[in-house]
Chain A
Amino acid sequence: MEETSINKKISYINFKIGSENFAINVFKVLEILQLEELTHIPNSSDFVLGVLNFRGSIVPVIDMHKRFNTKTQADCNKMIIIVDADNSEKKVLMGLFVDEVTDVIEFDYKSIRTVPDLGIRYNPEFLEGFVENDNKFIMVLNTDRVLSISELSEVSMAAAI
């Protein structure tokens, strides 16, 4: 096998949550939408901003700022990235509420480095690692972990009732 096929570069969508740069594998992404009016579901988890109609299905929108313990920026083009959270065989669509989608970048999977446990204000398991691109640190999302349904749906029954 040729060298190039192993070192194949993968495309990632580059976006911002708060002031930090994040990236998600382009194969996970179905569509990128402008933030629209969402339907709020009373007594649901804090992580869930609401739901929207995406191609005839009800898709929950996750507030990524809450997930990464940060706040949304004032002047930015707020977006929703629709991803297939693909839990085992089931197709699970979710929307990620982010601050801005900047561009598409390419890098080698092997260039992803592990995140040190110290110095970040969120669960490092949410990330596959980080890459350096254009003098920026870009966090690569671990979608399975960050969009874990059991964690996101956690509402204390006391709050619900």
Chain B
Amino acid sequence: MKDFMTSFVEEASALLSHLEIDLLTLEKEPENKEVLNNIFRVMHTLKGTAGMCGFINIQDLAHEFEGIFDQIREGKLVINSEIIDFTLKGKDVILAILKNENSENFNNALIESLHEMSQVGSLHEMNETSDKPLKELTGLSVFAIFFSPDKAIFERGLDPDKTVAELKDSGKSNIILHENKQSWKVQKTQKICLTTWEIYLSSTALLNEIEENFLFYEPDEYRIYDISSGAEQVPPELLARLQKLYNKPDVKEHLRECLIPLNVEASKAITQLPENTDEKLPEGFPSNTSTEGEMTINVSSVKLDELMNLVSELVTQTAILEARATYLKDPGLNNAAENLEKLTKRFRTNALDLRLVPVGALLSRFKRQVRDLSKKLNKHVNFFIEGQDIEIDKTILKSVENPLVHIIRNSIDHGIEFPEERIQVGKKKDGLLKISAFNAGVIVIIQVQDDGRGIDLEKVREAAIKKGYIQQDQAIMDNDLINLILEPGFTTSDNISLVSGRGVGMDVVRKELNAVGGTIEIFTEKNLGTTITLKLPTTLTIIDTLMIEVNQSIVLIPMLDIEFCYKEKSKEILKRDNKYIQYKNKPIPFVSLREKFRYPANDANDIMVIILNKFDKSYAIIADRIIGEYQAVIKPLGDLFNSQPYFSGGSIMVDGKLALILDTSFLFTQITKN
């Protein structure tokens, strides 16, 4: 029973998150019948399963919503933002109930107001007769049916001819036969079906009665559209096709009488089907706009980590086997070892892939936030999301959620102006907010752009002077100035608004990003807007590194941070009092790793200088020698080493030995502090 409950909660949560997306889509496209049906279906499913699991509250709530959306489907209620608001709230309440939060009172109040709404529903009836669905005017429905049975339909004991004949009997019809390569008659004798039927039928039958004719066919073998219940529900592709077929501008009007003569040319034109037999429906036919995602399963991260462990162990063992095979010079063994290595590499890539999720899963959740927030602040915001398919490690994606919430809040609250203000400065009334994600080499970039008023650098300067970050009259680059807002406790406004600026600022954003190895950059231009760029590693578990040696132990440095390396012939610099070297005509601080790790000084004359770049500043580290590049699978060092700050993790090398990964951020803060 408990399992049943958990699976219900999980399932319901998933349904609800889909519901939210659907509601927001519906608000934008009120005529989208598909989405409307989805919402209705979700409510219906919720009602049923909630009742079964004893969530009576949810059952009641879903029941009310089901009623409302049924009325909308029937055209008795018109979608407005009030309904969307209510439903979104209802969704939150259901979620709260699922999470066992106390929401009893809210819930009852909501049910009551919902009830009222469905009562007054009838008052919302549409007043213009011309908009009344055709069905009501004529008592006839018109259907467009695309029927494309499987090639081997005869083997399933079905005869498409009979099905079509039954359809014909139920009303008046126009049927276009799209024969493919061979005529239907020939196909029939060969027991192959390559034909598609395009049927326009006017009938007193209801949609589900027509659907019954296709009871034995697979869902992808036929599509039925009720095109009589108001042309706005007809997919645009289909409408275009109808106009072409019937050669009348106002198809809707004529379809009622069903069925004016077809435009023979047009129907012929499409009869020339493309050669491709996979694609049975000719181009221009409405495609199935199902929004169902790929099938996914939830796996605990512990299991994934275990898998990663095993994979890296396999990589190590494969390398050992390969070395042995090379040593033995046995061609058969060599071959086998090589094949195993290839396979192992693929296996590793695959296993790493498992941790990646598309960023869209997170980004689309902000739609709701943007909508609610802009409404609350009386601002008009057009919100766009780009690059939803870009994949990133789930842990990293999770850690950018809060930073993004904060950044978006700032953009809407401080960045985007009120409509009147925007018009005054010659901008469009609706502000623009865009989140885009894209890949750049080994990193993923998430950018938040707005076309608001930008960050006021003068104000930042004032505040910086007040807080003592800079001196009065101190010359400072705009870039450095703007980075000051990432400092702890920095704020330009004295009064804290309700929406943003609750004491936690951009410094928290930076901290959270740094924790997963990400960085933040701000670019702003007065009156043109602000762009905030987050640079994130694609994965936490694998990084490209430079392998160096210090006192015979291997240290790995994330490649991302490395700017330049060179060999220094003399160790003179180590003896200097000031720990600075010249790089690009600028003095930069350096640190010797031997010194830092308390290893004895070495005898060799050559030392390697590695210039690192962190947060747009350079510093150098000194090592014994550079070994090469290495793609490291990062492993945690474990709780025991939490208090040592120099290494962020370790990695197992091909020979089974361990290497340590240098924490470049910590070293940076330490060097710059001194």
Interface residues of A (CB under 8 A from B): 37, 39-45, 48, 51-53, 55-60, 92, 94, 149, 152-155, 157, 160-161
Contact = CB atoms under 8 A, between A and B. Distances in A.
A55 B313 CA distance: 6
Contacts of A152: 640
Nearest to A156: B643
B599 A149 contact: no
28 contacts: A37-B657, A39-B553, A39-B657, A40-B553, A41-B637, A41-B644, A41-B660, A42-B597, A42-B598, A42-B599, A53-B316, A53-B657, A56-B310, A56-B312, A56-B635, A56-B652, A57-B309, A57-B635, A60-B637, A60-B638, A152-B640, A153-B639, A153-B643, A154-B643, A155-B643, A160-B643, A160-B645, A160-B646
A48 B640 contact: yes
Contacts of A37: 657
Contact of B637 (A58, A155, A161): A58
A41 B647 contact: yes
B384 interface: no
Contacts of A44: 640-641, 644
B350 interface: no
Interface in B609-654: 635-647, 650, 652
B249 interface: no
Tell me what chain B mostly uses at the interface: helix, strand, loop, or mixed.
mixed
B313 A39 contact: no
Nearest to A59: B638
B379 to A, nearest CB: 47
A51 B637 contact: yes
A149 B639 CA distance: 7
Nearest to A147: B640
Contacts of B310: 56
B658 interface: yes
B313 A42 contact: no
Q: Which of B636, B639, B659 has the most CB of A within 10 A?
A: B639
Interface in B531-563: 553
Contacts of A39: 553, 650, 657-660
Nearest to B550: A42
A92 B639 contact: yes
A43 B597 contact: yes
A155 B644 contact: yes
B670 interface: yes
B569 interface: no
Interface of B: 309-310, 312-313, 316, 553, 596-599, 635-647, 650, 652, 656-660, 670
Contacts of B659: 39
Contact of A53 (B599, B645, B656): B656
Contacts of B638: 58-60, 92
Given A41-B644, A58-B635, A58-B652, 13 more contacts: A41-B637, A42-B597, A44-B640, A48-B640, A51-B650, A56-B310, A56-B312, A56-B316, A56-B652, A57-B635, A58-B636, A58-B637, A94-B640
A39 B657 CA distance: 8
Nearest to A44: B644
A43 B637 contact: no
Given A43-B646, A57-B635, A58-B636, A52 B641 contact: no
Given A42-B597, A42-B599, A160 B658 contact: no
Contacts of B596: 42
A10 to B, nearest CB: 28
Contacts of A57: 309, 635
A157 B666 CA distance: 14
Nearest to B305: A57
Contacts of B656: 53
A149 B640 contact: yes
Nearest to A55: B313
Given A51-B650, A51-B658, A53-B656, A41 B313 contact: no
Given A41-B641, A44-B644, A52 B658 contact: yes
A64 B310 CA distance: 29
A154 B642 CA distance: 10
A2 to B, nearest CB: 35
Contact of B670 (A45, A48, A153, A161): A161
A42 B597 CA distance: 5
State the 4 A-B residue pairs at the shortest beta-carbon distance, nearest first.
A42-B597, A56-B313, A56-B309, A39-B658
Contacts of B309: 55-57
Contacts of A43: 597-598, 644, 646
A44 B637 CA distance: 12
Contacts of A94: 640
Contacts of B657: 37, 39, 53
Given A42-B598, A42-B599, A43-B598, A160 B644 contact: yes
A75 B642 CA distance: 35
A31 B70 CA distance: 65
Contacts of B312: 56
A156 to B, nearest CB: 9
Nearest to B317: A56
A68 to B, nearest CB: 18
Contacts of A149: 639-640
A121 to B, nearest CB: 24
A37 B313 CA distance: 18
A63 B611 CA distance: 37
A155 B646 CA distance: 13
A153 B643 CA distance: 7
A58 B650 contact: yes
A94 B658 CA distance: 16
Contacts of A153: 639-643
A60 B643 CA distance: 14
Contacts of B637: 41, 51, 58, 60
A43 B643 CA distance: 10
A60 B597 contact: no
A39 B652 CA distance: 11
A84 to B, nearest CB: 13
Contact of A60 (B553, B641, B645, B652): B641
A145 to B, nearest CB: 15
B652 to A, nearest CB: 5
A145 B7 CA distance: 40
A120 B230 CA distance: 93
Contacts of A56: 309-310, 312-313, 316, 635, 652
